[in-house]
Amino acid sequence: MATTEQFRALFDPRGVVVAGASTHPGKFGFVALHNILANGYEGRVFATNRDAAPVLGIETVPSLDDIPAGEADLLFVCTPAVTNLDVLRSAAERGIRAAFLASAGYGEAGEEGRRAQDELVALAEELGILIVGPNGQGLVSTPSSLCAQIVAPYPPAGRIGVASQSGNFVSSFMNYACATGVGISRAVSAGNAAMVGVTDFLAFYAEDAETDVALAYVEGITDGRRFFRELSDVAERMPVVLVKGGATSGGARAAASHTGSLASDDRVFDGMCRQAGAIRARSIEEAYEVAASFATQPTPRGNRVAVVSTAGGWGVVTADAIAGTDLELLALPDDLITALDAELPPRWSRNNPIDMAGGETKDTIPAVLAIVARHPDVDAIVLLGMGIQSNQGRMEHDGPFFPEWGLDRIAAFHDRQDHRYTTLAAELSEELGKPLLVATELAVTFPDNAAVRGTVEAGRLCYPSSNRAVNALARLWERTQWQARRHG
């Protein structure tokens, strides 16, 4: 059983050794060292190379025995499987407590590989070293500016802890983090999970002061009951978002009972997640968005949603999306309607979705947003139609008439306004402890739009559509309910 101290050695090491650093830029042993050096890691970096050839400006040594003791906590292993038992023994003598093995040739490689893997684990346990992998992509830890992995990217810092049975999906989640700005605290690919698997990392994240939400991808589960217990334990303490690959691969089951034939793998897994209190996402992008929502939005205290829009159609579709969830489109109370009457032109919707009908002054949107957000009946807000004016400003800026005809002033004005609106949205959300989700396709079509930037700079996810915002909010509410039913 891995200790918290070992996980700290893995994620926040004082120094790192790359075993098997290579001068060939196509080799893992080069890429791993490159990525550690290129992303701001501040601890000491050592590397071994059979010929002691310098790599990327690092003087390498032929053996781990040549590395000063007590300077490094983490070993990143790119050496061939046959040499790794010796590598581990030397590492333990140098005071290293954790090793990530990118090396292949273990459990994934037939009977002989499985034997080698068992030997590796037995030795690691004897030496008190945590083994992660083998056959994994690596790990990332933004609090330590550590990018110890054999692939890009390095994500922005944030509060999401990722653990995955597939390294590819660690990359996918981190690519989403790069694209949206909602960052990652720790990320790790479990590889063959010889010693520790996904739930072990989740258990560490539940204790980790740097992590607020766990995000996991799983495929095969060897011990279902143990998985359930560990998942329950983590979900009790922290939101867990989970995607399962291969959930539908199990065919219809031969069973004597109707119950047995209805209890498909997928439905059992689904029920297990609900019972454990984990949020099961249906796709990688949903998983990321829901995790990003847990990481950046306050917990909803109720399910009554106000939809605030600068124009009609978006609000209507959003109301439809809400109708398909456990969320409720709040029927506007009279005092809220009266308060909004004072701010909006007579043609406003006087209904939820709150369609501001365009005719606003420069302070209308902030005023309306504050009134709605502060109303005690409103539990959450979905804000739509931000960034339209600054998108027009972009066209004017890029067009043939700029900056004449006052286009420079108007474009700058719209940028300021849109940025102000979404900045205020985040501030209100923070102050009031209510989810306030900004949704616009500009998040993907023109991510440098001022409204999008206002949201992203506030550390929030700018949802690419209102349906996706509503779904994320519904999943936050799902957890609130799960907790309320169990802990009152």
Partner 1 sequence: MPTASPISGSITLSEADSKALLGRFGVPLAGERLADDPDAAVVAADELGYPVVAKLNGERIAHKTERGLVRLNLADADAVRTAATDLLGAATAADGQVQVLVAPMLRGNRELIAGLSKDPQFGMTVMVGIGGIFAEALADVAIRLVPIERVDAEEMIDELRTQALLGPFRGEPAVDRTQLADVLLGLSRAAVATPELVSADLNPLIVVDGLPIAVDALVEVQA
Give contact residues for partner 1 (rule: CB under 8 A).
221, 224-225, 228, 253-263, 265, 267-272, 274-275, 485-486
Q: Supply the minimum distance, in Å, between the C-beta of residue 326 and partner 1.
A: 9
| CA angle centred on 184, ends 178 and 234, rounded to 5° | 145
Strands (E), 119-248: 130-132, 138-141, 146-149, 157-164, 184-189, 213-218, 240-244
Distance of alpha carbon 129 from alpha carbon 77, whole angstroms: 13
Nearer to partner 1, 30 or 217 (CB): 217
Distance of alpha carbon 224 from alpha carbon 283, whole angstroms: 22
Nearest Cα neighbor of 79 from 149, 27, 150, 19 is: 19
SS3 48: strand
Nearer to partner 1, 228 or 446 (CB): 228
Nearer to partner 1, 1 or 256 (CB): 256
Backbone angles phi, psi at 149, to 5 degrees: -155, 165
Nearest Cα neighbor of 382 from 444, 329, 418, 454 is: 329
Q: Supply the minimum distance, in Å, between the C-beta of residue 276 and partner 1.
A: 9
Q: Give the CA radius of gyration of the chain.
A: 26
Q: Supply the minimum distance, in Å, between the C-beta of residue 236 and partner 1.
A: 14
Nearer to partner 1, 222 or 361 (CB): 222
Residue 480 to residues 239, 314, 423, 446, Cα–Cα distance (Å): 10, 27, 26, 33
Nearer to partner 1, 68 or 260 (CB): 260
Distance of alpha carbon 383 from alpha carbon 439, whole angstroms: 6
Nearer to partner 1, 228 or 413 (CB): 228
8 A C-beta contact, residue 48 and residue 78:
no
Nearer to partner 1, 209 or 252 (CB): 252
Q: Supply the minimum distance, in Å, between the C-beta of residue 273 and partner 1.
A: 10
Nearer to partner 1, 185 or 303 (CB): 303
Q: Supply the minimum distance, in Å, between the C-beta of residue 117 and partner 1.
A: 22
8 A C-beta contact, residue 78 and residue 116:
no
Nearer to partner 1, 109 or 263 (CB): 263
8 A C-beta contact, residue 44 and residue 15:
yes
**In DSSP terms, which residues pair with 184 in a beta bridge?**
160
Q: Supply the minimum distance, in Å, between the C-beta of residue 205 and partner 1.
A: 23
Q: Supply the minimum distance, in Å, between the C-beta of residue 275 and partner 1.
A: 5
Residue 236 to residues 232, 280, 282, 296, 462, Cα–Cα distance (Å): 6, 15, 21, 19, 28
Q: Supply the minimum distance, in Å, between the C-beta of residue 199 and partner 1.
A: 14
Distance of alpha carbon 185 from alpha carbon 202, whole angstroms: 12
8 A C-beta contact, residue 480 and residue 301:
yes
Q: Supply the minimum distance, in Å, between the C-beta of residue 337 and partner 1.
A: 31
Nearest Cα neighbor of 352 from 331, 368, 336, 366 is: 331
Distance of alpha carbon 194 from alpha carbon 129, whole angstroms: 13
Strands (E), 326-411: 328-329, 354-355, 380-384
Nearer to partner 1, 209 or 486 (CB): 486
Give the up-direction half-sphere exposure of residue 152: CA atoms within 13 A in the CB hemisphere.
6
Tokens for 63, please give them.
Answer: 């053996």
Q: Supply the minimum distance, in Å, between the C-beta of residue 137 and partner 1.
A: 26
Q: Supply the minimum distance, in Å, between the C-beta of residue 284 and partner 1.
A: 23
End-to-end CA distance of the chain: 34
Nearer to partner 1, 130 or 240 (CB): 240
Q: Supply the minimum distance, in Å, between the C-beta of residue 101 and partner 1.
A: 27
Nearer to partner 1, 246 or 403 (CB): 246
